[in-house]
């Protein structure tokens, strides 16, 4: 593999948009319920220098790995979701949203685990506060999930591991091995600095901050390319996809790195954009797209979803309109 060539920049006008209806995607990872409290802000609290939000509307959305599944399902892929929830109202609500989203649930209830919640308080479309509730699942539940994963993984084309660092992927190394033995393509949205646990995956999709945590900083594109390719080789990946916010995405695979420029849009909210990227990538690869075309579609999807408030999805119809 060459290490000194220039990065190839590609656009997205030549992509053929697949139907996705035969794509089979399994999403495994940390499940969350995203709760939004929307309201008006007209005064400052007399108790502390903070705004008072008069809540007028509440909304629940799927978060974490569940949002990845929701995004893949919105493209018309056949999607199954595996993860752990608590024996509580948020867990029941999360399951209901999964079923409403045309996602096949494989949810495990841990009676000692409160379901992970991200509560966002929004005043006049501006997020004012986020409150997180989270606890790591028990080992018994995770082992049960591992055995079920081995039984069902062969019924899918692509497996996505959505790692939010909440403990739901304690056995990811064994899961990656099982997925590869079953002939599935393995994608990982990583977390933390210990990437050896992702060894053997096909594609890992860090953002800039996540990659810096693992390989350190870089001063120019040449140094970035060297560090990214070294990490790719160390982990035995087919490709490393670096998401770069306003700079687009760069795919470090065989041959020269491929850069896909960002789609120029007004950025409204970047929360959940990484979920949209890996979901679109997974659905596209399951629909037999090439890795480069799949990255192009994922880049377009990211450009759409950042124009929406909160964790949101992109539909196949929106992708088709953008490709025009």
Burial level of 173, CB count in 10 A (0-12/13-18/19+)? Answer: middle
Q: Which of 30, 34, 157, 275 is catalytic?
A: 275
Burial profile 180-206: b = 16 or more Cβ within 10 angstroms, e = fewer: bebebbbbbbbbeeebebbeebbbbbb
With beta carbons less than 8 A apart as the criterion, state whether 205 and 274 touch. Answer: yes
**Neighbouring residues of 96: CB distance < 8 A, sequence distance ≥ 6:** none
The set of long-range contacts for 318-322, using a CB threshold of 8 Å and a minimum separation of 24, is: 319/17, 319/75, 319/280, 320/17, 322/263
Decide: helix, strand or coil at residue 97. Answer: helix
Half-sphere exposure of 63 (CA within 13 A, CB side): 26
Residues in the chain: 324
Is the separation of the CB atoms in 302 and 22 below 8 Å? no
- Secondary structure of residue 90 in the 3-state scheme: helix
Catalytic site residue 132? no
Q: How far is CA 13 from CA 220, 249, 260, 320, in A?
A: 28, 16, 12, 11
Q: How close are the terminal C-alpha atoms of the chain, in Å?
A: 35
What residues are labeled active site? 275
């Amino acid at each position: 593999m060459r290490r000194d060539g220039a990065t190839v920049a590609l656009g997205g006008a030549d992509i053929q948009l697949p139907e996705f209806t035969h794509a089979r995607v399994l999403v495994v990872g940390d499940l969350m319920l995203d709760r939004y409290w929307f309201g008006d802000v007209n005064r400052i609290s007399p108790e502390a220098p903070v705004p008072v939000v008069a809540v007028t509307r509440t909304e629940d959305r799927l978060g974490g790995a569940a949002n990845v599944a929701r995004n893949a399902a919105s493209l018309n892929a056949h999607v199954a979701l595996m993860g752990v929830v608590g024996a509580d109202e948020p867990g029941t609500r999360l399951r209901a949203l999964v079923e409403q989203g045309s996602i096949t649930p494989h949810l495990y209830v841990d009676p000692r685990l409160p379901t992970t919640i991200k509560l966002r308080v929004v005043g006049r479309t501006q997020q004012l506060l986020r409150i997180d509730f989270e606890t790591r699942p028990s080992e018994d539940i995770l082992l049960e999930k591992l055995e079920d994963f081995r039984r069902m993984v062969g019924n899918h084309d692509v497996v996505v591991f959505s790692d939010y660092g909440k403990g739901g992927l304690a056995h990811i190394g064994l899961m990656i091995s099982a997925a590869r033995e079953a002939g599935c393509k393995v994608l990982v949205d990583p977390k933390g600095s210990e990437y050896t646990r992702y060894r053997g995956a096909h594609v890992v999709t860090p953002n800039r901050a996540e990659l810096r945590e693992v390989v350190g900083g870089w001063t120019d594109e040449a140094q970035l390319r060297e560090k990214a390719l070294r990490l790719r080789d160390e982990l035995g990946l087919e490709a490393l996809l670096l998401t770069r916010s306003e700079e687009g995405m760069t795919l470090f695979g065989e041959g020269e790195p491929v850069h896909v420029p960002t789609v120029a849009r007004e950025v409204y909210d970047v929360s959940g954009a990484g979920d949209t990227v890996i979901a679109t990538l997974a659905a596209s690869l399951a629909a037999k797209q090439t890795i480069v075309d799949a990255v192009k579609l994922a880049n377009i999807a990211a450009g759409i979803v950042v124009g929406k408030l909160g964790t949101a999805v992109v539909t196949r119809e929106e992708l088709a309109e953008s490709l025009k």
